[in-house]
Amino acid sequence: MNNFDSLPFFIPEIILIFNVFLLLLFPDLRRKNILFLLKVFILLNLAIACLVNLAYMPGMPLGLFFNNFARDPFAGLFSSILLGLFLILNIDKLRRLEERINIDCLINELICLTASILLVKANSMTAFFLCVGLIFISYTTHYYVFNRKIADNYAILVIQALIFGLLFFVFWFIYGLFGSLYFNSIDPASALLRHNPATGCYIILLLTLGFGLYGIVLPFYFLHRGKEMLTEFRNSTYFIALMALFGSLIRLSYRLFSEQSNAVEVSRLIGLFSACLMVCVMIGANLYYLKKKTAANLIITALIIHYSMTIIAIIADTADTVSAAIYLMLSSVLIFAGIASLPDNENATILKKVLLTIFYLGLIGLPGTSGFIARFLLIKSLIDAGISLWIITCALLFSLPLTFYFMREIINLQKKRIIQVNTRQLYCMPTLLALYTILSGIFWEPLFELITESIVFFK
Amino acid sequence: MDNHLLLTILVLPIIGTLILIFIRENRVSIIKSVAAIICGLQLWIIIQLLTSFDKTVSYLQFAEHINWINLLNIDFIIGINGINLLYLALAGIVFFTTVFISWRIENQQKSFFILLLLLNGGITGVLIAFDLFLFLMFYGLTLFAMFILVTLFSPQSANFQTGHFGVKALVSFCLIMIGTLIVNNQNPGFGFNLVTFAQNPGLPANVSNAGFILFLIGFLIIAPVFPFHSWLAAAVHETITPVSILLLALFSQIGIFGILHILFPLFPGHAVQSAILFAILGLIGALYYAFSVFSISNFKKIVLYFAGYLNAFVLLGLSALLAIKFQTPDAAFTGLNGAIILSTASGLITLLLLLLPKAYQSVIKDDAINGNRWQLKFMILLVLLAGLGLPGFLIFIGQYLCLSGAFCQISTRIISIFALSGLILIGVQFFRIIRAIIRPDNRFDFFVKTTEIQNEKIIMPMIIIILLLLGIFPESILKYLNQSIDNLMELLTILR
């Protein structure tokens, strides 16, 4: 499609940018009535954007802006997830819009959200780098505004530059192999990779390093610095960008390592390589974690381990593994978001204890929670995809220390003294997320089917 | 009404848990009453099941089959056969008595009773599930509740020991989960239905090898059989007596139950081929635990190693499967009967032995105040002799059947004779204990906090009577098992 025909499919992004302008134009509102209207208006806009995305889900896939972006069920689903995530993590900021700092923060995060939604739709390397660039700018800006430590800011900048550089290199490498800048033109991938599986492994290494820097190395950095990542997670830029990069990796890997009859052997070799790589990452995370056992470090390690497991599943590259990977990532990110959206004070109210316990149980993977079903589906799909049993066993066993220490954390939590604090409003969103954690552990079928349907068209 | 009895005993503890969550922590008497009512109701339903169970048929009874998750062919299938019913009865008795034993537990009463009911729900689910996914879910719940109970009711200084138990339990869960998934992977059309898999076990050799090893190690860890036993001493010794009872009398029997309920029907060929492995594990375990019992003076440790010894003996009973290979299935039938009876009886005898230190303290106290209390001393004597396998008690029947099953083949016969030598060491130690009770001295450490155990004077005679009656009339228990073991034997003989 050309520019003008494509425009209607970008209504959600246009709405989001409109909101950014709105917040830029009315930064100093003091009148309560107008402020209330503004809040309602922004919420309404977000809801409309989400509905429009969902409405675009069914139907034939389309290439937009001369195939630089794509409109397909996958993009529709992921955009809706990102919008939902944004709402969950920013509802508190929207509630307290009278504070100037919240407006600044929201502007930044709305830009990041827009870039992330575009990234999920990106179908060419040019579009990909435009969106990644925009995300990194918004993340860095956010970090510079809210963190005054020069060393941290410098490290964040270096890591982002590394990600950009690595991805730039691997994308040009892929371009050199397949001669196209467009993701959906990488069709003969399997035939090319069959000649030399090492090429595939090399691409995997670079891709997992590139994408993994954001999902794994960035949390590792915080872990190493002993920083409280929980406060860091409170802004949505990290999670939304993580999910968007994850979506983009799925789109790319589906094209690169498509499951074709003559490529099964190649896929298996590449799958084995990536699985070994990710098991090493999990071992590393465990070793790092053992140095300092705080709740925040536990959560970061859980993020790294879940991310590693999902990458194994994505590279295994069947509809089931990818669906399970998305389900696990969604479940984990929503639990992390729930933990991050809890009030950050030392007081242990009854509700906070209950909610934290549910979230931890979800991360452990207790039967009856979304965490259990996500892991179960992932392991099942990996076995069905023919990934080596030893690798799967290792991956599962290396996630055990984490599970064990989370159980300890739950026990420590029960021993804390309860203090009654009346902050009910703050618990609204975490309560909803805790309900999701339980309900999606029991009635998970509809969501899983929706995810599977959204990626089926890739094949 | 009959059709929903199983569903009721499964749902009751979960409802009880939810009720307890909403009761305030300081309303201790209400909390205890709710737990007692739930466990009492459950035991009453189990008695109903025992009386209305048809002993002449081999198919699943009181079964409920609901299509649950169509996407993965997961069904909600619960039901009972003779084997499940015996373990269910054991669970009912242990949970009901544990509530009364821990009536005056000192700290965190609410947490204790919530976790007790949660564990009850988990174990009941494990015992009646006939879908592997359902089994896995309840197994996970059981491990979680047990770990929290052990950690919460152990001293801070025992963090390493309780952690050890947690890690072993998690490893067991992971192995069983992977085993379940690779079995499902071979025949996705069967879903996770245990009955269908048992009737069509045509798994490729490499898959069934891997599956068998994964399930076997997973269950042996929980049993706990040598060399996977290290959590036993660590966890049981450190925690309070009611939790030790749950661990030894019930939780460790889940491992044996898993072998009978899942491992044998899924991998009949491997079960018969590796019968000698069970015998060797049984021999090593029996000798190791017997030496441990002989060399220790702490009574709680003696009991936990004795429980390990009985489980090793159960493995000897299972090794009678070797007889199938040599076309003498009757011996295997006897061995299986013995293994199941010994496993359930060892649950009850362990419960009794763990109550014994409190009874001993009463003897010492009463000796000082009122003179000689011969009734209590006689009861303690009976418990110890019943544990040793005094004829007339159920343990004797179990041990006898296990041995007569294992004695039919020369290899298992030699192994059993060596394993029996362990009984001599245990016998010597038990007679020393009897002497220490009749003429109190400081040779053995019977220390137990008085608040940890309550109502032992009522519970001990009741369980002794159960063991005695079943020991005198073993046919009453064998009748329940006949058809189910016949069914299992058919699978093992035809499909191996």
Residue-wise pLDDT for A308-327, tens only, equals: 888 888 877 778 888 899 99
List, for residues A146-175, the tens digit of each pLDDT value.
666 677 777 778 877 888 888 888 888 877
pLDDT at B218: 92
Tell the residue number behind the tokens 């079960």, with chain if given.
B271
The minimal CB distance from A380 to the residues B141, B170, B181 is found for B181
Cα R_g (chain A), whole angstroms: 21
Mean pLDDT, all residues of chain B: 85
Q: Per the CB < 8 Å rule, is B178 touching A400? A: no
DSSP letters for A310-368: HHHHHHH--HHHHHHHHHHHHHHHHHHHHHHTS--SS---HHHHHHHHHHHHHHHT-TT
| More confident position, A328 or B456 | A328
Of all residues in chain B, what percent carry a pLDDT higher than 70? 95
Best mutation target, A351, A381, A445, to test chain B (most B CBs within 10 A): A445
Residue B103 is classified by DSSP as: T
**8 Å CB contact of B167 and A404:** yes
| Residue among A357, A323, A419 nearest A74 (CA) | A323
Examine residue A343 and say whether the peptide bond preceding it is cis (omega within 30 degrees of 0): no
Residue with tokens 């915080």: A222
**Contacting residues of A for B71, CB less than 8 Å apart:** 445, 448-449
Query: In this model, does residue B87 exceed pLDDT 90?
Result: yes
- What contacts B300, CB < 8 A, 6 or more positions away? B236, B237, B241, B244, B354, B357, B448
Chain A: give the shortest CA distance to residue B347, in Å: 27
Check if B23 contacts A (Cβ < 8 Å): no
Q: Is B71 on the interface with A (CB under 8 A)?
A: yes
CA distance A242 to A221: 15
Averaged over B215-229, what is the pLDDT?
87
Burial class (CB in 10 A: 0-12, 13-18, 19+), B217: middle
Side-chain half-sphere CA neighbours of A240 within 13 A: 35
Mark the ranges of chain A whose per-residue pLDDT is less than 50.
229-230, 260-263
Angstrom distance (rounded) from CA A190 to CA B299: 67
The 10s digit of each residue's pLDDT in B460-477 is 889 999 999 999 998 888
Establish if A133 touches chain B: CB-CB under 8 angstroms: no
User: Which pLDDT score, from 0 to 100, does residue A424 have?
Assistant: 55
* pLDDT score of B42: 93
Contact present, A269 and A388 (Cβ < 8 Å)? no
Cα B409 → chain centroid: 27
Residue B23 has pLDDT above 50, yes or no: yes
B153 in contact with A, Cβ within 8 Å: no
- Residue A459 has a pLDDT of 60
Residue B66 with chain A: CB contacts under 8 Å: none
Record: contact B177-A411, CB cut-off 8 A: no
Q: At B113, is the pLDDT very low, low, confident or very high (cuts 50, 70, 90)? A: very high
Residue identified by tokens 């536990």 is A298
Q: Look at residue A225 in the predicted model and tell me its pLDDT.
A: 60
A393 to chain B, any CB pair closer than 8 A? The answer is: yes
User: Does B182 touch chain A if contact means CB atoms closer than 8 Å?
Assistant: yes
Chain A with chain B: Cβ pairs closer than 8 A: 72
> Are A380 and B185 an interchain contact pair (Cβ–Cβ within 8 Å)?
yes
Tens of pLDDT, residue by residue over B246-302, are 998 999 899 999 999 998 888 888 888 888 899 999 999 999 999 988 888 888 888
Each residue's pLDDT tens digit, B322-368: 888 777 778 888 899 999 999 999 999 999 988 888 877 777 776 65
Report pLDDT for A346.
59
Inter-chain touch B136–A367, beta carbons under 8 Å: yes
Closest CB from A389, A393, A445 relative to B71 = A445
> To which residue do tokens 């991805």 refer?
A167
Which pLDDT tens digit goes with each residue over B158-170? Answer: 667 777 888 888 8
- Angle A125-146/A236-256 helices, nearest 10 degrees? 160
* CA B142 – CA B117 distance, rounded (Å): 10
At B2 the pLDDT is 53
Task: Tell me if A368 and B141 make a contact (CB, 8 A cut-off).
Answer: yes
Of the listed ranges A1-10, B100-109, B118-127, the one predicted with least confidence: A1-10
Helix, strand, coil percent values for chain B (each to nearest 5): 80, 5, 15
- Mean pLDDT value across residues B418-435: 87
List chain B domain ranges: 268-496
Q: Is A417 on the interface with B (CB under 8 A)?
A: no
CB contact under 8 Å between A445 and B70, yes or no, is yes
| Whole-number Cα distances in Å, A71 to A45, A57, A131, A325, A457 | 21, 8, 16, 22, 12
- Which residue type does B324 have? I
Report the alpha-carbon distance of residue B475 to residue B466 in Å, rounded. 14
pLDDT for residue A156:
75
> CB distance A393–B174 less than 8 Å?
yes
Among A364, A384, A449, whose Cβ lies nearest the Cβ of B185? A384
Across the range B170-190, mean pLDDT stands at: 86
Mean pLDDT of B409-435: 86
Angstrom CA distances, B490 to B87, B326, B483, stand at 22, 15, 10
Is any Cβ of chain A less than 8 angstroms from the Cβ of B165?
no
Locate the domains of chain A by residue range.
3-456
